[in-house]
């Protein structure tokens, strides 16, 4: 098949979603498919280049030119509605690549919707977050509580608190319109967790969808050369947190819980500092800014166990899979897609989100019960095989084959609608 992957960002811009798209493209190309990528342009990056067997096309959108709209100059997002210049660029790209399948990730799908019918391609959209229904994508009402669902009365004020009135209005209305159209035009949605399928309304609506998790490469556990930054790590046996150091990721809860531990080893934090990152840390906490991915995998191998105490509903945390691939247990918040990845008492421990006492108790348990910790590590290493490319890309390939069969598309029913099984089993 000829497959065109659409992604807002692509390396050298790096994050979980970008790494997923790159890994997916490489895996599909290795299986013999013709794969190309359409992504937003990045300063200093060539307009077109080969990334292994995958041809990468960098496209410019009108809203990218308006720097005042974006808080992070490195990440000038695609809007949740058709961007005129981006639509034209995608039209030229589709004419050049002639894809059978367009597989879009995140809001860039909105700029392909006007081209869908004339392109002749089947459209698959992976939802890596809650952007189909939430203008802020995180499904947190006013940044504090898990949202109970979108309504005209709730969404604009909530988005205004995040974007400001004008940007919030345009973003919210545009997202509603694109979401309405997408549910009728997209051939198949892929939700990366049951939480995403539920909170975006896929499991209650008529749109066709599958629940397929993100994945890690088959060789993710094979360590490369050591990066010089690893010299800054303490000795083996520390507790490790990887991710943006923000309240939504539970950084405040983690520091509060850690302060209550007895005879605790060092706590290592690796990730980006953002606006609400704490300005001070206890002396037994080591804080490092964003590291190369290879160095992070070394850090996982040296750690005692990982902790991911997110307050918000993480969609499908790749860092959990990377910890598992390193043979490490994880203490995680029982919210969002975490229960799809972490089996309580088997591969890690789940605690109520925002509960520092429960988090401290779970961490203390792993510190004191090394027999339990060893059992969790062994099971994690075995079960991560189901979350590697060899297993997951096959499921995505099957989605492509399904949507290429007109009869199957007409007769299909929403996948997983009545399933109680975890997506990662």
**Element (H or E) spanning 356, and its range?**
helix 356-368
The answer to whether residues 177 and 271 belong to one domain is no
Residue 169: count other Cβ atoms within 10 Å of its Cβ.
Answer: 15
Tell me, yes or no, whether 421 lies in a domain: no
In-domain check, residue 223: no
Is the same domain home to 82 and 195?
A: yes
- The CATH number of the domain holding residue 194 is 3.40.50.2000
Does residue 156 fall inside a structural domain? Answer: yes
pLDDT greater than 50 at residue 372: yes
CB atoms < 10 A from the CB of 44, how many? 6
Pair 148, 141: CB distance under 8 Å: yes
Structure-block tokens of residue 338? 């975490």
The answer to whether residues 44 and 122 belong to one domain is yes
Asked whether residue 241 falls in the same domain as residue 297, the answer is yes
Check whether residue 21 and residue 136 sit in a common domain: yes
- Please tell me whether residue 256 adopts helix, strand or coil conformation: helix
Establish if 425 belongs to a structural domain. no
What angle do the packed helices 389-403 and 16-30 form, to 10 degrees? 80
Per-residue pLDDT at 39 exceeds 50: yes
The pLDDT value given to residue 73:
56
> Which has more pLDDT, 9 or 408?
9
Q: Please enumerate in sequence order all residues whose Cβ is within 8 A of that of 218, keeping only pairs 6 or more positions apart, or say none.
A: 388, 389, 390
pLDDT at 68: 52
Token pair listed for 341: 């990845």
pLDDT digits (tens, 9 = 90+) for 260-301: 999 999 999 999 998 899 999 988 999 999 899 899 999 999
Specify whether 313 is located in the same domain as 401: no
Same domain flag for 176 and 239 = no
| pLDDT of residue 71 exceeding 80 | no
Same domain for 259 and 350, yes or no, is yes
Q: What is the pLDDT confidence band of residue 211, given thresholds at 50, 70 and 90?
A: very high
Tokens of 347: 């591969």
Please list the residues that pair with 40 across neighbouring strands.
Answer: 59
Tens-place pLDDT, residues 311-352: 999 999 999 999 999 999 999 999 999 999 999 999 999 999
Tell me: pLDDT of 145 over 70.
yes
Lowest-confidence pick of 153-167, 258-272, 409-423: 409-423
Tell me, what's the pLDDT at 67?
A: 53
Does residue 136 sit within a domain?
yes
The answer to whether residue 418 sits within a structural domain is: no
**Which residue has 């960098």 as its token pair?**
58
pLDDT at 75: 61
Q: Where are the alpha helices (DSSP H) in 40-83?
A: none
280 and 195 fall within a common domain? no
- Token couple for 91: 């039209």
Q: Is 395 in the same domain as 355? A: no
Share of the chain above pLDDT 70, in %: 93
Is 114 strand, coil or helix? helix
Q: Mean pLDDT throughout 366-385? A: 97
Domain membership of residue 134 (yes or no) is yes
Per-residue pLDDT tens over the stretch 193-209: 999 999 999 999 889 99
The helix (run of H) or strand (run of E) holding residue 61 is: none
Token pair listed for 373: 């910790």
Cα 96 to Cα 112: distance, rounded to the nearest angstrom = 15
Mean pLDDT calculated for residue range 356-383: 97
Is the backbone peptide bond immediately before 12 cis, with ω within 30 degrees of 0? yes
Confidence label for 425 from pLDDT (cuts 50, 70 and 90)? very low
Place of tokens 């400001």: 164
Listed residue (250, 222, 203) closest to 322, CA to CA: 222
Least trusted range by pLDDT, from 8-17, 81-90, 103-112, 166-175 = 8-17
pLDDT at 66 over 70: no
Q: How many domains does the structure of the chain reveal?
A: 2
Flag whether the pTM goes above 0.95. Answer: no
Residue closest to 128 by CA, chosen among 5, 219, 3, 273: 5
Shared domain check, 65 and 138: yes
Give yes or no: residues 181 and 235 share one domain.
no
Give the CA distances from residue 189 to residues 124, 154, 196, 215, 337, in Å, rounded to whole numbers and listed in that order: 6, 26, 11, 17, 17
At residue 166, does pLDDT exceed 80?
yes
Query: Per the domain annotation, does 86 fall within a domain?
Result: yes
pLDDT at res. 415: 47
**pLDDT tier at 42 (50, 70, 90 boundaries)?**
confident
Residue 419: burial class (beta carbons within 10 Å; 0-12, 13-18, 19+): exposed
The values of phi and psi at residue 78, to 5°, are -70, 145
Range of the domain at 161: 2-217+389-411
Residue 409's pLDDT is: 46
* Residue 47: exposure state from Cβ atoms within 10 A (0-12, 13-18, ≥19): exposed
CA–CA gap between residue 23 and residue 31 (Å, rounded)? 12
For residues 170-190, give the mean pLDDT. Answer: 95
């Amino acid at each position: 098949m000829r497959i065109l992957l659409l992604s807002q960002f692509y390396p050298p811009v790096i994050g979980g979603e970008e790494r997923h798209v790159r890994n997916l493209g490489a895996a599909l190309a290795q299986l013999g498919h013709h794969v190309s990528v359409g992504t937003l342009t990045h300063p200093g990056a060539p307009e077109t280049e080969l990334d292994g067997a995958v041809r990468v096309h960098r496209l410019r959108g009108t809203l990218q030119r308006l720097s005042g709209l974006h808080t992070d100059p490195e990440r000038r997002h695609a809007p949740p509605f058709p961007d005129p210049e981006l639509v034209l660029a995608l039209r030229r790209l589709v004419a050049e690549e002639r894809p059978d399948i367009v597989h879009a990730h995140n809001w860039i799908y909105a700029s392909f919707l006007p081209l869908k019918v004339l392109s002749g391609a089947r459209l698959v959209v992976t939802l890596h977050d809650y952007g189909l229904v939430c203008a802020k994508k995180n499904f947190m009402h006013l940044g504090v509580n898990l949202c109970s669902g979108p309504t005209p009365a709730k969404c604009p004020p909530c988005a205004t608190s995040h974007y400001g009135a004008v940007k919030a209005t345009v973003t919210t209305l545009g997202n509603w319109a694109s979401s309405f159209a997408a549910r009728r035009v997209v051939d198949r949605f892929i939700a990366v967790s049951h939480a995403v399928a539920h909170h975006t309304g896929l499991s209650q609506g008529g749109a066709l969808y599958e629940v397929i998790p993100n994945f890690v490469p088959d060789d993710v556990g094979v360590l490369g050369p050591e990066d010089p930054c690893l010299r800054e790590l303490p000795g083996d046996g520390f507790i490790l947190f990887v991710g943006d150091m923000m309240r939504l990721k539970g950084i405040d809860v983690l520091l509060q819980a850690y302060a209550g531990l007895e005879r605790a080893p060092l706590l290592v934090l690796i990730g980006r500092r953002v606006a609400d990152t704490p300005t001070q840390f206890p002396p037994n906490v080591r804080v490092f800014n964003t590291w190369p991915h290879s160095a992070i995998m070394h850090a996982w191998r040296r750690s005692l166990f990982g902790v991911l105490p997110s307050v918000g509903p993480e969609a499908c945390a790749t860092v959990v899979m990377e910890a598992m691939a390193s043979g490490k247990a994880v203490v995680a918040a029982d919210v969002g897609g975490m229960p799809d990845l972490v089996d309580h008492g088997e591969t890690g421990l789940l605690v109520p989100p925002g509960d520092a006492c429960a988090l401290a108790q779970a961490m203390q348990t792993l510190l004191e019960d090394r027999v339990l910790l060893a059992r969790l590590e062994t099971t994690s290493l075995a079960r991560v095989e189901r979350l590697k490319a060899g297993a997951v890309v096959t499921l995505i390939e099957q989605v492509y084959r399904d949507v290429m069969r007109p009869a199957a598309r007409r007769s299909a029913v929403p996948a997983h609608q009545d399933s109680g099984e975890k997506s990662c089993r």
